[in-house]
Chain A
Amino acid sequence: MVQHKSALLGHQKDARFSFEVERYRKDFPILSQRVYGKPLVYLDNAATTQKPRQVIEAIDAYYRTENANIHRGVFYLSERATKHYEEVREKVRDFIHAASSKEIIFVRGATEGINVVSQSYGRTFLKPGDEIIISHMEHHSNIVPWQILCNQIGARLRVAPINDEGELVVGDYAKLFNSKTKFAALSHVSNALGTVNPVKQLIQMAHEAHVPVLLDGAQAAPHLAIDVQDLDCDFYVFSAHKMYGPTGVGVLYGKQAWLEKMPPYHGGGDMISSVTFEKTTYNVLPYKFEAGTPDIAGVIGLGAAVDYLHAIGMNAIQAYEQHLLMFATQTVSKIKGLKIIGTAQAKACVLSFVLDGLHPHDIGTVLDREGVAIRAGHHCAMPIMERFKVPATARASFAFYNTTEEVLVLERALHRALEILK
């Protein structure tokens, strides 16, 4: 067993696997911290990731040298801030391979992005009796906005089932479509299970039924290369803070043809061309959806995060994280009584589990004292807990800065939990 572990550890240093995790770790100031006298092992990345100094410094530099309101000032600083802000829009366009930067709308996060679509698109194009398809593995943020819409307009929510592995069953998904289906919303990657959905295939299926699709990419953006044109999704949302950027800012991508037809979500400054008390003319895309002064510093931080990920390369990140996931799965599976919830074939770096008779909250407290930060609870996905008949799970979610050594610390901490709580 020991030999097996060291073989896998050695694999990390393998020439064909030259991911420089130790170098990247040095970019994250918070990771060198000790908690309760132990090195911090941060495994709650699905909740929020840590920030590299490049992001922190970009935000700092903006406030120190560029701060001014955008899209209005006639002076030097405002012009610079505006340019910087709009450059990030282009970076984000490139990051998700959108056709035009007009399709990139800055919002507060994935949650707000979904609410913009459900309210602006939903209330314009859906009518009583129409159906919206979501799945059983959605985060509350991709359930509740659709329930609100259904209540407002008298539409019906349909839920695609998942199997015991935590995968969508494609055949069952197809069966939900009928002439009343008018919209589908789906997570690209599940936050509680780690499942990567076969979204391209499902979008194609929905489009055959003339149904537009929104993808919740909050958990995909930090782990996968995203190509919205290849996926052909109609809308895509994600949050900066889950991909090494700051909190409070995110992106809504929408196909231009849809965004042109949709009314604004918020009214205010910046989203107008002209205002009289009789009539207001809305601004062009993307500004029509960006009322008020946005989180300029946040957007600039997001730009730095995109640059950072770009420098490492999403494919390299994905390959390393898959290696880490395999190692972590093998390591914790050896613990007697541990059951992994979410065993899909295609998975991102998330390990949700229950441990024989121990409540996840108690596991979380013991792990915390060992320096290991995990999430314990329902992960804002209560229907998933119900599906697997558990009140809660413990979840270790990894980032590219986590190491196989940290997986071994997690393993030791879990043994400690068994020792204390059994």
Chain B
Amino acid sequence: MTDLRDLYQELILDHSKKPCNFRVLEKTSHTAEGYNPLCGDRYTVYLNIEGGVISDISFQGAGCAISKASASMMTSSVKGKTIDEANMLFEEFHRMICGNPGSRVNEAALGKLVVFSGVCEFPIRVKCASLAWHTMKAGMEKSKEPVSTE
């Protein structure tokens, strides 16, 4: 049986208590709000996209430990990445949290984000772990021009 510690790992709890990039960005090109009506989690993701690159990212809001830690670690992971790279990372992350327990994940691509691999054992919490990511994606999609890498 899965232990709760697989979900609530030390690193996740640390990020939920002391989230990184938990602030309003001074210079913002795009913002998006994400909301999970099931549990009332609500986040705003601030992005500064320059030439298709996420030069800075931050977030604000309230929610459970999983959603907050996920938002925190997401901002650290995508800062400096291109929009395409960020989207690919989200795809990889989403595959991991929705995957079958024990299935292989791309550890090299995900880096520290593999700490969320336990989420797949708790299907109800997938929405928590992916809320900030969906919000960021919505923010990036608002800007058609910077998305273009042609």
Stretch at the interface among B19-27, B63-71, B97-105: B63-71
B117 to nearest A CB, angstroms?
Answer: 16
Residue of A nearest to B68 (CB): A359
- Bound together, the chains give a CA A420 to CA B38 distance in angstroms of 23
Contact bitstring A56-74, B, C-beta under 8 A = 1, else 0: 0000000000000000000
Contact bitstring A371-398, B, C-beta under 8 A = 1, else 0: 0000011100010010000011000000
From A37, A385, A420, A421, B1 is in contact (CB under 8 Å) with A37
Q: Which residues of B contact A392 (CB under 8 A)?
A: 39-40
- Pairwise interchain contact A359-B38, C-beta atoms closer than 8 A: no
Interface size on B, residues (CB 8 A): 22
- Bound together, the chains give a CA A359 to CA B122 distance in angstroms of 16
- Pairwise interchain contact B62-A365, C-beta atoms closer than 8 A: no
Q: Which residues of A contact B66 (CB under 8 A)?
A: 361-362
From B13, B17, B63, A391 is in contact (CB under 8 Å) with B63
CB-contacts of B7-22 with A (<8 A): 7-8, 13, 17
- Bound together, the chains give a CA A39 to CA B125 distance in angstroms of 23
A161 to nearest B CB, angstroms?
Answer: 22
Query: Given A391-B62, A391-B63, are A362 and B40 neighbors across the interface (CB < 8 Å)?
Result: no
- Pairwise interchain contact A377-B4, C-beta atoms closer than 8 A: no
The yes or no answer to A36 lying at the interface (CB within 8 A) is yes
- Bound together, the chains give a CA A361 to CA B63 distance in angstroms of 8
The yes or no answer to B128 lying at the interface (CB within 8 A) is yes
- Pairwise interchain contact A359-B8, C-beta atoms closer than 8 A: no
- Pairwise interchain contact B41-A361, C-beta atoms closer than 8 A: yes
Query: Given A359-B63, A391-B63, are A365 and B4 neighbors across the interface (CB < 8 Å)?
Result: yes
- Bound together, the chains give a CA A376 to CA B66 distance in angstroms of 14
- Pairwise interchain contact B62-A420, C-beta atoms closer than 8 A: no
- Pairwise interchain contact B40-A366, C-beta atoms closer than 8 A: no
From B42, B65, B124, A359 is in contact (CB under 8 Å) with B65
- Pairwise interchain contact A421-B8, C-beta atoms closer than 8 A: yes
CB-contacts of A228-272 with B (<8 A): none
Q: Which residues of B contact A359 (CB under 8 A)?
A: 63-65, 68
The yes or no answer to B144 lying at the interface (CB within 8 A) is no
The yes or no answer to A222 lying at the interface (CB within 8 A) is no
Contact bitstring B117-135, A, C-beta under 8 A = 1, else 0: 0000010110010000000
Q: Which residues of B contact A377 (CB under 8 A)?
A: 38-40
Query: Given A37-B1, A365-B122, A391-B62, are A360 and B39 neighbors across the interface (CB < 8 Å)?
Result: yes
B150 to nearest A CB, angstroms?
Answer: 42
- Pairwise interchain contact B65-A391, C-beta atoms closer than 8 A: no
The yes or no answer to A83 lying at the interface (CB within 8 A) is no
Residue of A nearest to B8 (CB): A420
- Pairwise interchain contact A391-B42, C-beta atoms closer than 8 A: yes
- Pairwise interchain contact B5-A361, C-beta atoms closer than 8 A: no
Q: Which residues of A contact B42 (CB under 8 A)?
A: 391
A368 to nearest B CB, angstroms?
Answer: 9
From B1, B4, B17, B128, A361 is in contact (CB under 8 Å) with B128
Q: Which residues of A contact B17 (CB under 8 A)?
A: 357
A379 to nearest B CB, angstroms?
Answer: 10
B101 to nearest A CB, angstroms?
Answer: 15
Contact bitstring A340-376, B, C-beta under 8 A = 1, else 0: 0000000000000000011111100110010000001
Residue of B nearest to A358 (CB): B65
A174 to nearest B CB, angstroms?
Answer: 33
- Pairwise interchain contact A369-B4, C-beta atoms closer than 8 A: yes
- Bound together, the chains give a CA A240 to CA B4 distance in angstroms of 36
Task: Name the residue in B17, B64, B66, B125 with the highest tally of chain A Cβ atoms < 10 Å from its Cβ.
Answer: B64
- Pairwise interchain contact B13-A365, C-beta atoms closer than 8 A: no
CB-contacts of B30-54 with A (<8 A): 38-42
A390 to nearest B CB, angstroms?
Answer: 9
From B65, B68, B124, A421 is in contact (CB under 8 Å) with B65
A366 to nearest B CB, angstroms?
Answer: 6
15 inter-chain pairs at a CB distance below 8 angstroms, sorted by A residue, are A359-B63, A359-B68, A361-B41, A361-B64, A362-B64, A365-B125, A366-B8, A369-B4, A377-B38, A378-B40, A382-B40, A391-B41, A391-B42, A420-B8, A421-B8
> B: which residues have CB within 8 A of A?
1, 4-5, 7-8, 13, 17, 38-42, 62-66, 68, 122, 124-125, 128
Give me the 9 closest cross-chain CB pairs, A-B, nearest first. Answer: A361-B64, A359-B64, A392-B40, A361-B39, A391-B62, A378-B40, A362-B65, A377-B39, A391-B40
